Amino acid sequence: MSDSEQFEYESDDDPYGGQEEEDGDEEAIQIENTFYEADDNKQNFPEQALEQFQKVVALETSRGSEVVWRFKALQSIVILCARLTRFDEMATRYRELLSYMDQVTRNDASEAINTVLDSVSSASDLTKLETIYELTLDALQATANQRLWFSTSVKLAKLHLEMGDVQKLQRLVKTLHKTCQKPDGADDITKGSHLLEVYALEIQVCTLTKNSLRMKEIYPKTINLTSAIADPRNIAVIRESGGKMFMCEKKWEAAYNEFFEAFKNYQETGNATRAKIMLKYVVLANMLALSSINPFDSREAKVYQDDPEISAMASLRAAYEQNDISTIDQLLTNPSYRILSDAFIKTYLQDLLRNIRLQVLQNIIQPYRCVSLDFLAKEINVPNEEVVSLLIQLILDEKIAARIDGTEGFLQVSSGGGDTAKKFTSMQKWVDSFERIHTGLLGKLNQMQG
């Protein structure tokens, strides 16, 4: 071994070269060991882990201003306090954590804040959770971490939405939107992903406040932001809201397309609960549109076919295809199927039943030239007045060629109703046009001969 190697070896063996430094090193080792012991205990022994993390903070604070372990310890303390529902202590310790943000790296600060916010987001006390978000935003005001400020603001906006606090939500959405605009107030398309997040929030505000005019203004903008690298969670929310907008306007087919896109996006993000709800809405809009497309034929929908609630919707769709009105009534009224437990589906129940009855009624009438109104009412299980209303709609929509005899209580059907009648009407128009052309040509020939 050379002299230099021996010197380096000896130096490594005693880097601080003094008893006082050795004592300090032992204290640092104790802090580190205590932190890892607490980290091992936090899952199964949270109270013990909390005490140990607090000891880490106290020991390192007594050593001076150097921040090595206490920032991570405070992060764990905040999460454990939330888990143990000690919300006041959680807020106090979180303030302490935020005070060290300028003494750690930007990545460490961002990671700590995101971890805390994700961990406490399931807290039952929404007011305390709101305080945590507001503390974070106050601390971020003095930093240049715009991305973290934006993501935290979005989380707070979603909390306002959950709490139904429309005023706070609208103010925050307005602030967020300004960060995605150019100096002249126009949308900055280069911030497409952020814009979609803002519009997704604003669309939910419109849904909450029933502001359909603003919804119609916003919705096309979201669809046009195709160049953005969009989070499918935001796309799902936007598409779901678009579907509900079209449902309000009774544009059933457009609603069906939007709900199906929302369903696929929720499925992509692993949100099975929302995906299942969207699939119910897909079936609802599909039947309202009197569509021949069966949504359960799609690969995405088949994943849920064994779910009891989805199975009930599939049975409803099958009964609709077979014009089985009695099975449809049974499926809708049986509480075990939970179809009408969804307030949104219940809103469109009468529209759904009317569309189904129109289709069933049209099929019942087909073989008859004259049929009793009482018979028709009994077949679809509705009063005579509703049968007359349904028949009038079928006649006006040219689905049947018939006349209602209200005095005698009969429906008199013309030969070749529905599509056949339409074909004959079209042929008659063609013949009339041909005759006019023929007459005109004969007139011109007579003039030339004269």
Within a 13 Å sphere around the CA of 1, how many CA atoms are in the beta-carbon half? 8
pLDDT in tens, 101-134: 888 888 888 899 999 988 887 777 788 888 889 9
| Cβ neighbours of residue 65 closer than 8 Å, sequence gap 6 or more | 103
- Please count the other Cβ atoms lying within 10 Å of the Cβ belonging to residue 443: 10
pLDDT in tens, 221-276: 887 775 556 678 888 988 999 999 999 889 999 999 999 999 999 999 999 999 99
- Does 13 have pLDDT greater than 60? no
**Is there a domain that residue 315 lies in?**
no
> 143: exposed, middle or buried (C-beta count within 10 Å: 0-12, 13-18, 19+)?
middle
**Is there a domain that residue 207 lies in?**
no
Give the pLDDT band of residue 65 (cuts 50, 70, 90).
confident
- Please count the other Cβ atoms lying within 10 Å of the Cβ belonging to residue 244: 20
**Is there a domain that residue 227 lies in?**
no
CATH number at 407 reads: 1.10.10.10
- Does 422 have pLDDT greater than 60? no
Question: At which of 159, 188, 222 does a domain end?
Answer: 159
Q: What is the largest CA-CA distance in the chain?
A: 135
**Is there a domain that residue 197 lies in?**
no
Question: CA-to-CA distance for 179 and 191, rounded, in angstroms?
Answer: 9
CATH number at 79 reads: 1.25.40.10
Domain extent for 29: 21-159
**Is there a domain that residue 231 lies in?**
no
pLDDT in tens, 353-380: 888 888 889 988 988 999 999 999 998 8
Name the H helices within 269-410: 272-288, 299-302, 308-321, 325-333, 343-347, 349-365, 373-380, 384-396
**Is there a domain that residue 434 lies in?**
yes
**Is there a domain that residue 419 lies in?**
yes
> Which range among 5-14, 119-128, 170-179 has the greatest average pLDDT?
170-179
| Alpha-carbon torsion, ordered 231, 236, 238, 241, to 10 deg | -160
Question: At which of 93, 125, 159 does a domain end?
Answer: 159
* More reliable by pLDDT, 203 or 3: 203
- Please count the other Cβ atoms lying within 10 Å of the Cβ belonging to residue 26: 10
Distances (CA, A) of 112 to 77, 78, 104, 139, 268: 12, 10, 10, 13, 27
Q: What is the pLDDT of residue 120?
A: 82
Name the H helices within 121-251: 126-140, 146-163, 166-178, 192-209, 212-224, 232-248
Question: At which of 104, 134, 159 does a domain end?
Answer: 159
Question: CA-to-CA distance for 57 and 35, rounded, in angstroms?
Answer: 9
pTM listed for this prediction: 0.65
Which of 225-234, 283-292, 315-324, 327-336 bottoms out in mean pLDDT, i.e. has the lowest?
A: 225-234
Domain count, the chain: 2
**Is there a domain that residue 405 lies in?**
yes
Mean pLDDT of the region 300-327: 86
- Does 429 have pLDDT greater than 60? no
Q: In what order do the strands lie in the sheet with 410-413?
A: 370-372, 410-413, 402-405
